[in-house]
Amino acid sequence: MRIIKVTNIEKFASKILPKQPQKNKSIVESIINDVKKNGDKALRKYEKKFTKATISSFRLSKVEIKNAYSSISKSELDALHLAKRRLEKTESTIKSLLKNKTINNDGIKIIKKFIPIQSVGCYVPGGLARYPSSAIMSIIPAKVAGVPRIVVVSPPNSEGKIDPLTVVAADICGAHEIYKTGGVQAIAALSNGTRTIPKVDKIVGPGGALVTSAKFLVSEQTGIDMLAGPTELGIIADNSANPKFIALDLISQAEHSSDTFCYLITTSEKLAKSVNKMVSELLPKIQRANFVKSSLKNNGFIAICKTQSDMIKLANILSPEHLQIMTKKPESISSKITSSGLILLGSDTPSSASDYILGSNHILPTSGFAKIRGSLSILDFIKISTQVKCSKPSLSKLSKPLQILTKAECLFNHYESIRGRLK
């Protein structure tokens, strides 16, 4: 990894941020338009093209779901249930804070209610990989929020089957429908609907570059959660941190893909050199080394800052998806962090554990969007409904300022609709 002494925080941050590759917009648009026009026929064509699977029926049957349970071990099932329960507890606690409110102000009653979105589509990556954890992370917040229709789509393998762990995870979390389709075509189906897959109101969940591009393109007509890019891990550490732990954590997130953005920010040159040496020693011994080497070589770095405040400033500018703080007083530093998808405190809170079972959500903002939002949660599946009731005396009392404001905006008929009631 590159070790860089940072003197100008803003200049360094602007240069070190990885450049996002240009998405192949024309290909994504053509697939979306094809699915919009030809529905299930187009879905079958693209599954055959991309996954080599021949799909006769997209929706998983009760028998297929039951068979998935017999394909996994009891220990795997127990682990899924544990991850489900822990996230469920977190989301339920958040929901308990959302109470309907009535505000009375001079005869005007405003009622605020928290109501669930009516239908959501959860994209769960798959095909050659398996991500049952992503099924849990997207479905549970929707279920706790009370969404009445939760749809799951996931790419099948060449035999036309979804990974059984993913199927079981979706089932125990409460998915109402599970479909064997992925990629751009799945996003298009969720947004536009087909004969087999009715459209949804919002699409959530992580995916590759093409899936993210598809979510962006359909967002004009269908809600989406966020545009998530490659995994990001920032670590703030001082000389009290264990260099091996840091090296292991950097490697753990870098194994996701060859374009992850993983780095260490420190004031200790000694720690920087120790971590770099440890990474080099571990690389020949690890699995998925090709991803890790490519990622850490192209995007990884160790930044040596002058002061603690410089470390905090750099972290806030970079706004990482995950931020681990491994210092003597991590809470002191975390109180000054304003831009991170998830903050993990102390040496025994690795981001890898949060990806699965700590009770936090691993669907997180990347590419700087941690400046404006946090992890996926029930808040992504709930909208605020507002009801207003005004009495005639209250409307009359507000007549004069209403006349002034409507006249100022040259919307004269707005005031006429008010005055007509007061004659």
Which of 88, 177, 232, 321 is catalytic? The answer is: 321
**C-alpha span between 83 and 168 (Å, rounded):** 13
Residues 322/98, Cβ–Cβ less than 8 Å = no
**C-alpha span between 16 and 11 (Å, rounded):** 9
Is 321 known to be catalytic? Answer: yes
Task: Transcribe 14-65 into DSSP letters.
Answer: HHHSPPPPPP-HHHHHHHHHHHHHHTHHHHHHHHHHHT----S--BPPHHHH
**C-alpha span between 337 and 316 (Å, rounded):** 6
| Residue 234 DSSP label | E
Longest Cα–Cα distance of the chain, Å, equals 85
Is 81 known to be catalytic? Answer: no
Structure tokens at 225: 């959660």
Residues making up the chain, counted from first to last: 423
Cα–Cα nearest to 76, from 156, 143, 180, 169: 169
Residue 400, burial from CB neighbour count under 10 angstroms (0-12, 13-18, 19+): exposed
Residues 110/81, Cβ–Cβ less than 8 Å = no
Residue 387, burial from CB neighbour count under 10 angstroms (0-12, 13-18, 19+): exposed
Which of 81, 322, 409, 414 is catalytic? The answer is: 322
Residue owning tokens 């920087």 = 272
**C-alpha span between 309 and 119 (Å, rounded):** 45
Q: CB pairs under 8 A, 24+ apart, for 275-278?
A: 275/1, 275/243, 275/246, 275/247, 275/250, 275/302, 276/1, 276/3, 276/302, 277/243, 278/243, 278/244, 278/246, 278/247
Cα–Cα nearest to 121, from 205, 61, 213, 220: 205
- Which residues, other chains included, contact 413 with Cβ-Cβ below 8 Å and sequence gap of 6+? none
Residues labelled catalytic = 321-322
